[in-house]
Structure 1
Amino acid sequence: MTLAAPLAAGRIDTGDTAWLLAATALVLLMTPGLALFYGGMVRTKSVLNMLMMSFVSIALVTVVWLAAGYSLAFGDDIGGGLLGGLDHAGMSGIGPDSVQGTVPTLLFATFQLTFAIITAALISGAIADRAKFGAWLVFVPVWALLVYVPVAHWVWGPGGWILDKLGALDFAGGLPVEITSGASGLALCLVLGPRLGFKKDAMRPHNLPMVMLGAGLLWFGWFGFNAGSALGANGLAAAAFLNTLAAGCTGLLGWLFVEQKRDGHPTTLGSASGAVAGLVAITPSCGSVSLLGALVIGLAAGVVCSYAVGWKFKLNYDDSLDVVGVHLVGGIIGTLLIGVFAVESMTGGTEGLLYGGGLAQLGKQLVAVVAVGTYAFVVTYGIAKLIDRTLGLRAGEEQEHTGLDLTVHAETAYDHGVLGHGAPVSSSVVPSAQKVKPQA
């Protein structure tokens, strides 16, 4: 993501501004898309809770971002490339005439806000079916300030150490978005422990059409996510747009190939997951690689992530909706392969190993991956432990067995659907079930 000096005295370009307005709306749409994607993947008894975890993240992260997050992430560095200052806390000093490059600073800040929102929401998939909603309300703003904001400054902020000192590349968020959400999801999994019946009960997606709709909305929004990161209506945005489409396609095909070879049948869930894996991997690299590189990166992510989602059963961590297997693993693949496939025509200078650039850039990408992944995991683990010891992070066993929709939100997604473990529920039973006292 290219950045001009903060609040630079420039001139607004109407074409760039129009494109970034559209891109911002596209990225915001990704969070409702994610809600549908995740909501379809869980069992009927917790679908509304899953939707709520994404939607409430929009509100929580927005408040935190406007209060201090934007200033800390994109304000002038206050030393060491670790964090920005609070000069623009509460968006102070930023008016409608303030310009960031060729777009209004308020628009740039809003565009960045949508990234922070979906990153927090992504984590919820790792802890589906068993986390206290009240604890989630506390976790999201604390995590956004302590994990997302510092990493965003390292990678994109003025003076950030990964950008300025290390020289690692990340065009649209492999490090701040994909790797932080995946590593943080893993930390939460370990603190919470597995769901009741993990590795024993079938926990199949309850609504695959909803999953496919959510994946489609995510793919649609991803064009704003990646091409919007050019911060202008230009050739770089067009290249990132095409790379995004290409990687999503090869990710889908790679996943289906593995399913056909391994299981004997391609699935709708696999196609949705494969497309998302390809999109995850191309996120950091879409502005650094050629079309060939995008095709290979998407394919690699589709194949590798299709195996990675099964690691939880061997290693005994319950990543409910495969945030670790898709976002962490896919983010690592896409970030590292910049060091292999980067081309000068896209980067303006840096070349990857395949194009004669040697191992230097690959080494920089590896350092960034390890640093960000370790930081996100350790800090998130600490936050989760603190919340668990004070408020309690996990829902009660009865709540989890009955379903969080009824016990937390006093609602059901389907009046005449199936609840719990798949037994039909008559209309005479539903009213009494709804008398369960909601608990956050």
Structure 2
Amino acid sequence: MIRFITTSIYIFAFLLLAGPATVMAQDSLSVAPAAIEAAAPAPAEAVVEEVAAVLDSGNTAWILVATILVMLMTIPGLALFYGGLVRQKNILSIIMQCLLCVGLISILWVSFGYSWVFGTSLMESGSAWGAIIGGSDKLFFNGMTLDTLTVGNIPEILFALFQCMFAVITPALIIGAFAERIKFSGFLVFTVLWAILVYNPMAHWVWGGGWMQKMGAIDFAGGTVVHINAGVSALVMAIMLGKRKDYKPGRPTTPHNITFVFMGAALLWLGWFGFNAGSGLAADGLAANAFLVTHLATSVAAMVWLAIDWVLHKKPTAIGTCTGAVAGLVAITPAAGTVGVLGAFFIGAISSVLCFFMVAYVKPKLKYDDSLDAFGVHGIGGIVGSVLTGIFATQAITGQEGVQGALYGDWNQLWIQLFVTAATIVYSAVLTFILFVVVNKTVGLRVPPRIEEEGLDVYEHGETAYNS
């Protein structure tokens, strides 16, 4: 019996050590069975045994939780944050726009969005289009079973759902730029087209094996795909849609419920741990580091904004501190998988200063009406984070063979980050401009003056948020 137990332990140890040698196709999301050969020399006629990948229950449980956290960022997080910042007569329009993004984008994602972003048929066929778009092999989650695994040995259907929440929140961020003056029907059409023609290609380029990923761009959780993409589009929409009728540069509209703003910011802060720490697709040290630097950068950014508010305006404000926290969350997003504590400190502080300057000085100077500072926080924060990733990335996090930034001697990564950031800005701006013209000429985007004056809630949705 003792000899049997000892032999069993040896066999188990061998299999455990041989497991990491499993060969996984790097260019495909699905994990395929791979051949594992014995370490000792084997006869030529030896049979090579295939060992199937086994689901990792720990990683799966963590990504299930992370998916829930990312969904909480849109509803109720963003809905409360943006909803509290607008006037009482328009809060339901914000809530409805966020709800629309969750429901409609989820349907589009399952139907073809996931396939266009993470499909592999075009790349596997050798087509040059594979650098631009994924393909049609995963339409309606075709071929994905309960046993189909992906990176981290989690179910691919879970990975697809996790990524769905990113696709949901990105167009929802744009809402802040044109709040209180956009038609719901126009918003619906614009959001559908934007998700298809702007978000899906960008996500494939950076995460799905597209040209940006191949050139070495770092975007751990969405600095380019989510925040620069949405922030730049928000600026274009705000300028083209025009200012609100009662907008006065330098005189922000009084928020109707600052408690909602705080609640929304708190839920965003909480949800962002799933957003960033979940993007490594494993419950491991990288996730722990992403969690740490996300919290640290956010804390620094919030305190820096509070201090600036206190010095310049003589009072530290709740709205300012919440806005600073969001700026820090945005900026650390692309860098969460590559920077340590030092990078988190500087990214949080720099993003807070630059976003404050953009919101408090540049916007009033240029006189555009970015209602809830979608560009000033998400656009600028995303740009800052993407560029600083090329400076503060460190092999202490990425490993000895991993990337590092200019601070540690690798200037090439900084140039890559600068190029990808510029390309994202140009693509988002041009496509958003085209979509605005098309939708405005067909469905129309701006509500009539009377509806804007009396409130979108009653005229667009037939409801009021508060009934006395």
Is the pair's TM-score, using the shorter chain for normalization, greater than 0.5?
yes
Aligned length: 411
* Counterpart in the other structure of 2:228: 179
Q: Within the alignment, does 1:353 sit opposite 2:402 as a pair?
A: no
Range moving further from structure 2, 204-213 or 192-201: 192-201
* Counterpart in the other structure of 2:426: 374
3-state SS, counterpart of residue 26 of structure 1: helix
Q: CA deviation at 1:264?
A: 1.5
* Counterpart in the other structure of 1:123: 174
Give the whole-Å Cα distance in 2 for the aligned partners of 1:148 and 1:377. 12
| 1:213-232 pair list within 5 angstroms | 213-232=263-282
Q: CA deviation at 1:79?
A: 2.2
* Cα deviation code 1:364-395 (max 9, x no counterpart): 00000010111011101111111001111101
Q: Within the alignment, does 1:337 sit opposite 2:393 as a pair?
A: no
* Counterpart in the other structure of 2:41: none
**Matched residue type, 2:423:** A
Segments of 4+ moved more than 4 angstroms: none
* Counterpart in the other structure of 1:396: 448
* Counterpart in the other structure of 1:190: 239
Q: Within the alignment, does 1:151 sit opposite 2:195 as a pair?
A: no
Q: Which runs of 5 or more residues in structure 1 are unaligned?
A: 417-440
Q: Percent same amino acid at aligned positions?
A: 47
Q: CA deviation at 1:11?
A: 2.3
Q: CA deviation at 1:248?
A: 0.6
* Counterpart in the other structure of 1:111: 162
**Matched residue type, 1:11:** V
Give the whole-Å Cα distance in 2 for the aligned partners of 1:288 and 1:356. 15
* Counterpart in the other structure of 2:134: 84
| 1:2-41 pair list within 5 angstroms | 5-9=28-32, 10-32=53-75, 33-41=77-85
Range moving further from structure 2, 247-256 or 303-312: 303-312
Give the whole-Å Cα distance in 1 for the aligned partners of 2:28 and 2:64. 20
Q: CA deviation at 1:275?
A: 0.4
Q: CA deviation at 1:316?
A: 2.0
* Counterpart in the other structure of 1:385: 437
Q: Which runs of 5 or more residues in structure 2 are unaligned?
A: 1-25, 33-52
Change (3 A) 1:175 1:202: closer
Q: CA deviation at 1:315?
A: 1.1
* Cα deviation code 1:216-252 (max 9, x no counterpart): 0000000000000010000000000000100110010
Q: CA deviation at 1:202?
A: 5.4
Give the whole-Å Cα distance in 2 for the aligned partners of 1:294 and 1:387. 40
TM-score, length of structure 1 as denominator length: 0.91
1:55 alignment partner, one of 91, 99, 113: 99
3-state SS, counterpart of residue 30 of structure 2: coil
Q: Is the 8 A contact 1:254 1:300 kept in 2?
A: no
* Counterpart in the other structure of 2:289: 239
Change (3 A) 1:318 1:202: closer
Give the whole-Å Cα distance in 2 for the aligned partners of 1:352 and 1:103. 31
**Matched residue type, 1:306:** F
Give the whole-Å Cα distance in 2 for the aligned partners of 1:45 and 1:354. 49
3-state SS, counterpart of residue 5 of structure 1: coil
Q: CA deviation at 1:4?
A: 7.0
Q: CA deviation at 1:347?
A: 2.2
**Matched residue type, 2:375:** V
1:203 alignment partner, one of 244, 253, 257: 253
Q: Within the alignment, does 1:64 sit opposite 2:108 as a pair?
A: yes
Give the whole-Å Cα distance in 2 for the aligned partners of 1:289 and 1:327. 20
Q: Which has the larger radius of gyration?
A: 2
Q: Is the 8 A contact 1:4 1:100 kept in 2?
A: no
* Counterpart in the other structure of 1:326: 377
Give the whole-Å Cα distance in 2 for the aligned partners of 1:209 and 1:4. 47
Q: CA deviation at 1:302?
A: 1.1
Give the whole-Å Cα distance in 1 for the aligned partners of 2:128 and 2:162. 25
* Counterpart in the other structure of 1:268: 318
| 1:93-108 pair list within 5 angstroms | 93-101=143-151, 102-108=153-159
3-state SS, counterpart of residue 128 of structure 2: coil
* Cα deviation code 1:313-369 (max 9, x no counterpart): 211211000000000000001110011111012223211111122x21111000000
